[in-house]
Amino acid sequence: MGLGADKLEIRHNWQFDEVKALFDQPFSDLIFQAQCVHRQHFDPNTVQVSTLLSIKTGSCPEDCKYCPQSNRYDTGLEKEALLEIETVLEEAKAAKASGATRFCMGAAWRSPKQKDMHHVLQMVRGVKELGMESCMTLGMLSVDQAEELAGAGLDYYNHNLDTSPEYYCDIISTRSYQDRLDTLANVRAAGLKVCCGGIVGMGEQPDDRVGLLLQLANMEEHPESVPINRLVRVEGTPLEVGDDLDPFDFIRTIAVARILMPISHVRLSAGREEMNEQMQALAFLAGANSIFYGEKLLTTPNPAANKDKQLFQRLGINSEKYESQRCPQGDELALLDKLEKAHNDAFFYDATASK
Ligand code: SAM
Ligand code: DTB
Ligand code: SF4
């Protein structure tokens, strides 16, 4: 049973000035507000854990200026054809054994070719058979492709807006903002859950961060998952050099996302490798309740799994076994509590053993 809609104030009519005012509050007031919203809808000490795998790497025809996988930039990345299904499932099994509950597969495509769909659908079925949640990010999708993925049992589709409509053209020229919105509409229409967020620290203005969150928060339905990526600067990309975003402005972005989208999972996404533990703790305090877990994102490093386990232990954070916002009752709750405990014992086993 979900929380009654009457208990939630979920708005889809935010105004630019209101969102800007949220950002511009004193830092402590903003974090307090975000934490209050977070506690109304989630267990504040539970974080969802997803593992990423690049199933097709490099040679992408798109020109996203942040991306090491675009064929326009010489980033020294080793390209890889679409992985074999068995290889992907081995990685998924390892991710599950290490404590991840969702397996996210990403491909460096503008959009999937029909000839690859069969292959990709089998990956989804295989991951589902392992008892994990599945997520894919394959670029633009047609209505039919979204339906095929939903038919195979895919849970989430990730497709980011990346930045505000105004700044977008400074970052990508090969596909439009509207193309992205169209794919997101196709994903929704097929009944898939939406994972949609963006990247901050790309030289955008504060108003662009307002603009990005405004787009997400005013969607008819909020994305169930909102990844906030902090730009990972990769040598050879046009964004290799630039001014870094003030860490507090990154935390503010998380906090405002939490306030605007109270029942969405907000993911502290790319960029954790460059953050210290205190900054990550602040992000959790600001309402982030999901991470990418495992040594690699798609092509760039992420903190070691054991380091994350130790961080969770030090902060008293549990890894989410089931969607914590569902509020199960009675026997179901007791059963889920038992599962949650077993899940966490397994999750922390390595971290404790290595202490
Ligand atoms: N090719 C597909 C697409 O772009 O839709 C899927 C894969 S793409 C790598 C997925 C997302 O990763 C991008 O939308 C972007 O938000 C994020 N991303 C890529 N490179 C990044 C970087 N250097 N730093 C932070 N996020 C990045
Ligand atoms: C998302 O928002 N971030 C992830 C996932 N969705 C696919 C990707 C981050 C990629 C960071 C750069 C890289 O490792 O290539
Ligand atoms: Fe290609 Fe996706 Fe990278 Fe853009 S973000 S260059 S579409 S892999």
pLDDT tens for 292-310 read: 998 999 999 999 988 999 9
CA neighbor of 208 nearest in space, from 249, 175, 237: 249
* Poorest-pLDDT segment among 32-46, 72-86, 153-167, 311-325: 311-325
- Specify the amino acid at residue 253: T
Closest ligand 2 atom to the C-alpha of 298? Answer: 14
**Secondary structure (3-state) at 193:** strand
For residues 20 and 308, give the distance between their C-alpha atoms in angstroms, rounded to a whole number.
Answer: 33
Question: Pocket residues for ligand 2 (CB within 6 Å)?
Answer: 52, 68, 106, 137, 158, 160, 197, 227, 229, 232, 269-270, 297-300
Pick the ligand that lies closest to the CA of residue 199.
1
Q: Residue 324 has what pLDDT?
A: 42
CA neighbor of 186 nearest in space, from 155, 150, 236: 150
Question: Pocket residues for ligand 1 (CB within 6 Å)?
Answer: 60, 66-67, 69, 106, 108-109, 137, 139, 159-160, 162, 199, 229, 231-232, 234, 270, 298
What is the biggest distance separating any 2 CA atoms in the chain, rounded to whole angstroms? 57
Instruction: Tell me if 124 sits within 8 A of 145, measured CB to CB.
Output: no
- Answer whether residue 341 shows pLDDT above 70: no
pTM, to two decimals: 0.90
Q: Is 135 noted as a catalytic residue in this protein?
A: yes
- Answer whether residue 320 shows pLDDT above 70: yes
Sole residue written with tokens 């290595």? 354
In this predicted model, what pLDDT tens digit does every residue of 265-281 receive, in sequence order?
A: 999 999 999 999 999 99
Q: What's phi and psi for 62, nearest 5 deg?
A: -80, 165
Q: Residue 3 has what pLDDT?
A: 41
CB atoms within 10 A of CB 147: 17
DSSP state letters, 43-81: -TTEEEEEEEEEEEBS-BS---TT-TTBTTS---PPPBP
In this predicted model, what pLDDT tens digit does every residue of 105-129 receive, in sequence order?
A: 999 999 999 999 999 999 999 999 9
Q: Average pLDDT for residues 169-188, to the nearest whole number?
A: 97
Q: What's phi and psi for 254, nearest 5 deg?
A: -60, -45
Q: Is 64 noted as a catalytic residue in this protein?
A: yes
Closest ligand 2 atom to the C-alpha of 66? Answer: 12
The structure tokens listed for 351 are 């971290």
Q: Residue 123 has what pLDDT?
A: 97
For residues 305 and 319, give the distance between their C-alpha atoms in angstroms, rounded to a whole number.
Answer: 12
Contacts 24+ apart (CB under 8 A), 18-27: 19/210, 19/213, 19/214, 19/217, 19/256, 19/260, 20/206, 20/207, 20/210, 22/255, 22/256, 22/259, 22/260, 23/206, 23/209, 23/210, 23/252, 23/253, 23/256, 27/248, 27/251, 27/252
Strands in the chain per DSSP E: 46-56, 102-107, 133-137, 156-158, 193-195, 198-200, 225-230, 265-268, 290-292, 318-319
For residues 74 and 71, give the distance between their C-alpha atoms in angstroms, rounded to a whole number.
Answer: 7
The structure tokens listed for 345 are 């014992």
CATH of domain 19-345: 3.20.20.70
How do the domains of the chain map onto residue ranges? 19-345
Between the CA of residue 84 and those of 50, 107, 113, what are the distances in Å?
21, 13, 16
